[in-house]
């Protein structure tokens, strides 16, 4: 079951077609949609637009076939609906509300039901709601919005898993030691928060931080130069050009301060669109570089489960997966119990030089001289592979218990693998979705483009079309996707 092959979205039969050229995708509430294509063995599917951010049609029902003719009236209705679902206040308004809130002489109230800092004029409408009162809303509390706001629990898209303190401190210490003074936090509200807290303590060199996140509740606490309402699956800034301008200003290193990006996307997220957005951020950064230095890539740390390694490396070949296990506060599987360490499957993927990232000895990491990087002490260097297999593998038994696996060198595969890996020519290997060959994946299929044109007419005729394409999307998943969901199911 721990098959790591099939390193792309091909596995589950829905492929993402990254938009090229000026063809404009229709927008849902979450900004421009993505173009998907259903792919079945030997059959070419019809393409459709669906939400970039939500994997579940209950969360965002947007659906449109690529070749649908949408009437003017429907377009207008759609625009109207998108507008109606926007946050109740603009960022500007949130900022001035926050100033008023801080200046309130008596009685601060935070509505837990609406997740909103209330101004006195609003108390009445929220009277029957669950409320935090003044004593609970100290300055200290207000500087920790990630504790105040209820983590979003949307299972399929933006579940929020907040870093445990020690992982968050480890990350920040590491970045500071490497000399970074600006951190672009993409979906890492707690890291952003910690940077501000440390600055307030004044014990270390000040660092700047900009949070990009789809959770606009954070706009209540942060100014326009600290937070942008952003969708990382389509690189969409809800605040338009003013907001993307904030990113530009932040990425420019004219002030001589080095910038790094840290992202911890939702695990159910598709790798390709994420990589596409990160590349766009990186490209913006590159264009802003004044010195013609040798560095061509923006430093990035992408936090994701280890079983996505092949997919991430496919998008970013210069990245390395580090052994560091990222711990979370509110994830039942990855957090530390009182009974000791639970193994987290979440790792750091980065284009930083691995040997520069010192993993803490007291947490069980050691330096491997051959690999020139810090590794989990349990992983013995394999002389045959000539590397330290960096996986402490975790799987869930039927009963939901966590099982650990050790990697061993496999003679027939000529690599380190799990004891029950699909060995050699195992029948479990899925072949090309296009021609059925076991020798390549659909992406590399020599017949791919030919099939595409040949099948166009069939697709138009509506044969083999899923009735509810997005639902069927969630039925056939890649191994990695399945494991990500399995981990989530235990919530």
Which residues contact ligand SAH (rule: CB under 6 A)?
A: 53, 152, 157-158, 160-163, 187-191, 213-215, 230-233, 264-266
Q: Which is nearer to ligand SAH, 180 or 407 (CB)?
A: 180
Least distance CB 370 / ligand SAH (angstroms): 32
User: How many angstroms separate the CA atoms of 50 and 65, rounded?
Assistant: 9
Q: Is 125 helix (H, G, I), strand (E, B) or coil?
A: coil
The CA-CA-CA angle for residues 324, 326, 329, to 5°, reads 155
Give the contacts of 357 (CB within 8 A, at least 6 positions apart).
Answer: 174, 178, 322, 324, 348, 350, 373, 374
- Residue 268 has a CB neighbour count (10 Å cut-off) of 21
Contact indicator for 46, 459 with CB cutoff of 8 Å: yes
Helix 271-288 vs helix 240-251: crossing angle, to nearest 10: 60
Q: Which is nearer to ligand SAH, 157 or 325 (CB)?
A: 157
User: How many angstroms separate the CA atoms of 6 and 69, rounded?
Assistant: 35
Q: Which is nearer to Zn ion, 79 or 113 (CB)?
A: 113
User: How many angstroms separate the CA atoms of 320 and 300, rounded?
Assistant: 11
Least distance CB 144 / ligand SAH (angstroms): 12
Q: Which is nearer to ligand SAH, 11 or 187 (CB)?
A: 187
Query: What does 111 interact with, of Zn ion, ligand SAH, none (CB < 5 to 8 A by kind)?
Result: Zn ion
Query: What does 191 interact with, of Zn ion, ligand SAH, none (CB < 5 to 8 A by kind)?
Result: ligand SAH
Where in 4-43 is the site for Zn ion (CB under 5 A)?
28, 30
For position 149 contacting Zn ion by CB under 5 A, the verdict is no
Least distance CB 67 / ligand SAH (angstroms): 27
Burial (Cβ within 10 Å: 0-12, 13-18, ≥19) of residue 412: exposed
Least distance CB 445 / Zn ion (angstroms): 31
Query: What does 283 interact with, of ligand SAH, Zn ion, none (CB < 5 to 8 A by kind)?
Result: none
The owner of tokens 């935090």 is 132
Q: Which is nearer to ligand SAH, 44 or 481 (CB)?
A: 481
Query: What does 396 interact with, of Zn ion, ligand SAH, none (CB < 5 to 8 A by kind)?
Result: none
Q: Tell which one of 16, 51, 172, 185 touches Zn ion (CB under 5 A).
A: 51
Please provide residue 154's backbone torsions phi and psi, each rounded to the nearest 5 degrees.
-50, 105
For position 214 contacting Zn ion by CB under 5 A, the verdict is no
Where in 55-84 is the site for Zn ion (CB under 5 A)?
60
Per-residue x/- track, 95-114, Zn ion (CB under 5 A) = ----------------x-xx
User: How many angstroms separate the CA atoms of 242 and 14, rounded?
Assistant: 35
Least distance CB 114 / ligand SAH (angstroms): 17
Query: What does 114 interact with, of ligand SAH, Zn ion, none (CB < 5 to 8 A by kind)?
Result: Zn ion
Query: What does 161 interact with, of ligand SAH, Zn ion, none (CB < 5 to 8 A by kind)?
Result: ligand SAH
Q: Could you tell me the two tokens for 153?
A: 């629990």
User: By CB under 5 A, which span of 53-61, 311-319, 381-389, 436-444 interacts with Zn ion?
Assistant: 53-61
Contact indicator for 102, 80 with CB cutoff of 8 Å: no
Q: Which is nearer to ligand SAH, 46 or 192 (CB)?
A: 192
Give the contacts of 237 (CB within 8 A, at least 6 positions apart).
Answer: 228, 229, 230, 243, 244, 247
Residue with nearest beta carbon to ligand SAH: 187
- Residue 454 has a CB neighbour count (10 Å cut-off) of 11
Please provide residue 380's backbone torsions phi and psi, each rounded to the nearest 5 degrees.
-80, 140
Least distance CB 111 / Zn ion (angstroms): 3
User: How many angstroms separate the CA atoms of 392 and 18, rounded?
Assistant: 33
Q: Which is nearer to ligand SAH, 230 or 250 (CB)?
A: 230
Query: What does 232 interact with, of Zn ion, ligand SAH, none (CB < 5 to 8 A by kind)?
Result: ligand SAH
Burial (Cβ within 10 Å: 0-12, 13-18, ≥19) of residue 292: exposed
Q: Could you tell me the two tokens for 235?
A: 């690189």
Contact indicator for 147, 306 with CB cutoff of 8 Å: no
Query: What does 37 interact with, of Zn ion, ligand SAH, none (CB < 5 to 8 A by kind)?
Result: none
User: By CB under 5 A, which span of 75-83, 121-129, 261-269, 410-418 interacts with Zn ion?
Assistant: 121-129
Least distance CB 422 / ligand SAH (angstroms): 31
User: How many angstroms separate the CA atoms of 52 and 30, rounded?
Assistant: 7
Query: What does 51 interact with, of Zn ion, ligand SAH, none (CB < 5 to 8 A by kind)?
Result: Zn ion
Least distance CB 151 / Zn ion (angstroms): 18
Give the contacts of 177 (CB within 8 A, at least 6 positions apart).
Answer: 358
- Which residues here bind Zn ion, judged by CB under 5 A? 28, 30, 51, 60, 111, 113-114, 126, 129
């Amino acid at each position: 079951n721990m098959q790591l092959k099939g390193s792309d979205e091909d596995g589950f039969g829905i492929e993402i077609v990254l938009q090229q050229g000026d063809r404009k995708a229709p927008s849902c509430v979450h900004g421009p949609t993505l173009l998907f294509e259903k792919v079945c063995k030997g059959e070419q599917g019809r393409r459709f637009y669906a939400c970039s951010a939500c994997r579940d049609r209950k969360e965002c029902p947007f659906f449109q076939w690529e070749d649908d003719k949408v009437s003017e009236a429907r377009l207008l209705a759609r625009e109207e609906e998108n507008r109606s679902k926007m946050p109740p206040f603009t960022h500007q308004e949130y900022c001035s509300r926050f100033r008023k809130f801080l200046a309130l002489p008596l009685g601060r109230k935070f509505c837990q039901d609406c997740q909103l800092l209330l101004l006195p004029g609003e108390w009445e409408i929220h009277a029957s709601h669950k409320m935090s009162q003044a004593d609970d809303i100290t300055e200290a509390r207000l500087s920790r919005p990630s504790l105040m706001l209820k983590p979003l629990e949307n299972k399929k898209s933006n579940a929020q898993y907040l870093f445990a303190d020690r992982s968050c401190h480890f990350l920040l210490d590491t970045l500071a030691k490497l000399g970074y003074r600006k951190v672009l936090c993409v979906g890492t509200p707690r890291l952003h928060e910690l940077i501000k807290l440390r600055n307030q303590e004044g014990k270390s060199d000040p660092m700047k931080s900009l949070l990009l996140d789809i959770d606009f509740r954070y706009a209540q606490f942060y100014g326009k130069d600290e937070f942008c309402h952003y969708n990382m699956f389509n690189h969409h800034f809800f605040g338009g050009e003013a907001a993307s301008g904030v990113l530009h200003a932040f990425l420019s290193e004219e002030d001589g301060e080095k910038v790094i990006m840290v992202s911890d996307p939702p695990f159910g997220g598709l790798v390709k669109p994420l990589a596409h957005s990160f590349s766009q951020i990186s490209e913006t950064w590159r264009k802003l570089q004044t010195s013609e230095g040798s560095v061509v890539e923006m430093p990035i740390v992408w936090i994701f489960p280890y079983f996505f390694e092949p997919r991430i490396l496919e998008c970013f070949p210069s990245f390395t997966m580090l052994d560091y296990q990222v711990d979370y506060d509110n994830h039942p599987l990855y957090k530390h119990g009182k009974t000791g360490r639970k193994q987290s499957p979440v790792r750091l993927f980065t284009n930083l030089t691995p040997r520069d990232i010192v993993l803490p000895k007291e947490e069980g990491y050691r330096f491997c001289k051959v690999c020139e990087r810090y590794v989990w002490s349990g992983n013995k260097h394999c002389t045959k592979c000539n590397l330290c297999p960096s996986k402490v593998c975790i799987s869930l038994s039927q009963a939901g218990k966590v099982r650990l696996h050790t990697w061993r060198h496999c003679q027939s595969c000529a690599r380190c693998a799990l004891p029950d890996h699909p060995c050699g020519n195992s029948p479990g290997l899925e072949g090309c979705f296009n021609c059925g060959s076991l020798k390549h994946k659909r992406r590399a299929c020599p017949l791919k483009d030919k099939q595409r044109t040949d099948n166009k007419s069939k697709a138009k005729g509506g044969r083999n079309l899923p009735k509810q394409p997005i639902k069927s999307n969630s039925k056939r998943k890649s191994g990695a996707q399945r494991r990500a969901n399995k981990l989530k199911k235990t919530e």
